[in-house]
A = this chain, B = another copy of it.
């Protein structure tokens, strides 16, 4: 038995998220990945992902691992090319590596880096339309930056968890939060030990309310404290979100 780790990138626009959906035929990233690997290895392959990304969410550095009986990794570069030849062009394997049998892409992850990008031009730029949330209203960047700082550290993020979530623990640690601005694009870079369902998108939606002046930056500690989803801002749309990196 062998265990292989892959780093993959995908454009999520045309997929119903990463995870295979048992009761539907919706196209998912995992469906295509399992299919390509099963074909190449000649045995039934099931991938385990580091992070479940939702419909429309993208990845530059998703990580998966899978167990297999045949050793196909003496030439990782050829394995990558073989898998990519069997995947749609908007899903690409970037790296392949043999790992110990006890490695699990999700359980061993020490941290994750997400980006979320807002297009603040009056008219949404066509070339970045599929990777940004268009917010044409004027935004107070300094207030957004002030608000972002309150998320740093260890908190119970119940107020920032989407409905339908099933995880028992709601405490997470945000280790870094950068707010960048260039040519009317605002980019959040959020790094943490883990994220609740929709957490990054609800944080982004809340900070845009701060930018519009509808929520004060100083109210964020209280919004965290009350553990009530209704007190936070709206869930920002999926297409602005990119899973950038998984740390081990």
Contacts and interface: CB of A to CB of B under 8 A. Distances in A.
Interface in A65-101: 77, 80, 84, 89-94
* Most chain B beta-carbon neighbours within 10 Å: one of A10, A77, A89, A127: A127
6 contacts: A9-B123, A9-B127, A11-B126, A11-B127, A89-B129, A92-B124
B127 A242 contact: yes
A interface, by DSSP: helix, strand, loop or mixed?
A: mixed
Contact of A123 (B58, B80, B127): B80
A125 B60 contact: yes
Per CB-CB distance, the 7 closest pairs between chain A and chain B, nearest first, are A11-B126, A92-B123, A90-B126, A10-B126, A9-B126, A11-B127, A92-B126
A125 B9 contact: yes
Contacts of A60: 125, 127
A134 to B, nearest CB: 10
Contacts of A93: 123
B125 A80 contact: no
Contact of A129 (B11, B125, B127, B131): B11
Size category of the binding interface on chain A: 20 to 34
Nearest to A84: B123
Interface string A34-74: 00000000000000000000000010100000000000000
Contacts of A91: 126
A91 B124 CA distance: 9
Interface in A98-130: 121-127, 129
Given A11-B129, A89-B129, A129-B11, A94 B80 contact: no
Contacts of A126: 9-11, 58, 89-92
B10 A80 contact: no
A165 to B, nearest CB: 27
A244 to B, nearest CB: 11
A237 to B, nearest CB: 14
A115 B160 CA distance: 40
Contacts of A89: 124, 126, 129
Nearest to A9: B126
A11 B127 CA distance: 5
